């Protein structure tokens, strides 16, 4: 500690004993809490004779070299001022007072709260192009304080984290993602990400394109179209299964003439299964029937040979059967 001039003179011309008092804090430091960007002042009062030297420390290190820190001591009041605080300014501060008779210190904490900031996109959504069945993912990186709430939309519909939709939030890194698994053609469209906190709201958009998988229509090969033979008045039922992407459109024909539903002619389709029903069949319903399937992938067809026997035919068959039975009975008795 450097000795002041009057102390030196007192030692030479005085009694040889220096009169004074070790430093002591009459008003210690108090903890201070500020918001990032605002100023902060740490202040204490100290007494001591001769006037003590003042030094400031943050987390055990001297602040003398930090240009943003301004210190002052008027002989009683010691202050440390930070004009514009940063988050790194937060910590434990200590004021040390020292003279030739001793030293004293006091400390307190400076808390720097992060300032509220409106959300902003560091990385926005980008357009996504996938093939049907592949996963599609949108991702963003967002800043803001407090951490913003993230919502995802398809058009005007808010999306939920369920089923094929998966959402991942990482507030620590500020990254957020939306994944659509097993994409379908109907998933294509405009998607939006909305980030919001108490300071405001921002959004960004991007499009999802889903390339449709196209395959040629194919009829179930396990179902062979055997000739269909029925009697007049019976029901004719023609059934088949067809597969393909997109789902093929199916039409029925009789002898190359397109069929329409009537009171006797019924058509049904469900999950790729197609049927043509003819009620109360007539001999004129006999002919070649065709089921034709068409889509972007191409065309396929399957034919059915239908034979409706009239009542006269059945009568003849019964007559012939009766004659045969009579012959057999006669032979038996013989």
DSSP string, 87-98: GGG-EEEEEEEE
Per the CB < 8 A criterion, the answer to whether 92 and 58 are in contact is yes
- Per residue of the chain (334 residues), give pLDDT as tens: 343 443 444 444 444 566 899 999 999 999 999 999 999 999 999 999 999 999 999 999 999 888 899 999 999 999 999 999 999 999 999 999 999 999 999 999 999 999 999 999 999 999 999 999 999 999 999 999 999 999 999 999 999 999 999 999 999 999 999 999 999 999 999 999 999 999 999 999 999 999 999 999 998 876 556 789 999 999 999 999 999 988 899 999 999 899 999 999 999 999 889 999 999 999 999 999 999 999 988 999 999 999 999 865 454 444 554 555 454 445 445 4
Residue from 215, 216, 209, 269 nearest 238 by CA:
269
Prediction pTM value:
0.62
Domains of the chain: 5-113 (2.60.40.10), 117-211 (2.60.40.10), 215-312 (2.60.40.10)
The residues, ordered by sequence, that sit 6+ positions from 248 with a Cβ below 8 Å of its Cβ are 217, 242, 293, 294, 295, 297, 300
Per the CB < 8 A criterion, the answer to whether 110 and 66 are in contact is no
Give pLDDT, residue 12.
41
Sort strands 249-254 and 91-99 into parallel, antiparallel or unpaired. unpaired
Question: Could you tell me how far CA 61 lies from the centroid of its own chain?
Answer: 46
Give pLDDT, residue 17.
60
Residue from 308, 182, 296 nearest 238 by CA:
308
The residues, ordered by sequence, that sit 6+ positions from 318 with a Cβ below 8 Å of its Cβ are none
Name the DSSP letter for residue 300: E
Q: Phi first, then psi: what are they for 163, rounded to 5°?
A: 60, -125
Per the CB < 8 A criterion, the answer to whether 139 and 176 are in contact is yes
Per the CB < 8 A criterion, the answer to whether 222 and 280 are in contact is no
């Amino acid at each position: 500690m450097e000795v002041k001039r009057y102390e030196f003179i007192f030692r030479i011309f005085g009694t040889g004993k220096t009169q004074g008092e070790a430093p002591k804090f009459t008003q210690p430091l108090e903890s201070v809490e500020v918001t990032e960007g605002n100023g902060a002042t740490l202040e204490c009062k100290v007494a001591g004779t001769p006037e003590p030297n003042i030094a400031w420390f943050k987390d055990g290190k001297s602040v003398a070299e930090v240009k943003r820190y301004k210190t002052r001591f008027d002989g009683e009041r010691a202050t440390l001022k930070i004009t514009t605080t940063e988050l790194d300014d937060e910590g434990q501060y200590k004021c040390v007072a020292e003279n030739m008779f001793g030293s004293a210190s006091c400390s307190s904490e400076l808390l720097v709260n992060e300032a509220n900031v409106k959300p902003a996109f560091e990385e926005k959504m980008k357009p996504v192009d996938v093939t049907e069945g592949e996963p599609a993912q949108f991702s963003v990186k967002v800043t803001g304080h407090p951490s913003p709430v993230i919502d995802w939309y398809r058009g005007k519909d808010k999306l939920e984290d369920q089923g094929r939709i998966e959402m991942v939030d990482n507030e620590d890194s500020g990254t957020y993602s939306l994944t659509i698994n097993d994409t379908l053609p109907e998933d294509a469209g405009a998607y939006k990400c909305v980030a919001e906190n108490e300071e405001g709201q921002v959004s960004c958009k991007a499009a999802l394109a889903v390339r449709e998988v196209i395959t040629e229509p194919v009829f179930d090969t396990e179902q062979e179209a055997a000739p269909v033979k029925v009697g007049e008045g019976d029901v004719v039922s023609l059934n088949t299964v067809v597969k393909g992407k997109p789902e093929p459109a199916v039409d029925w024909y009789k002898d190359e003439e397109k069929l329409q539903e009537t009171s006797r002619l019924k058509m049904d389709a469900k999950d790729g299964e197609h049927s043509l029903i003819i009620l109360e069949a007539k001999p004129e319903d006999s002919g070649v029937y065709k089921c034709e399937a068409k889509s972007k992938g191409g065309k396929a067809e399957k034919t059915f040979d239908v034979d409706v026997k009239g009542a006269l035919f059945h009568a003849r068959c019964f007559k012939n059967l009766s004659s045969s039975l009579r012959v057999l009975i006669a032979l038996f008795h013989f």
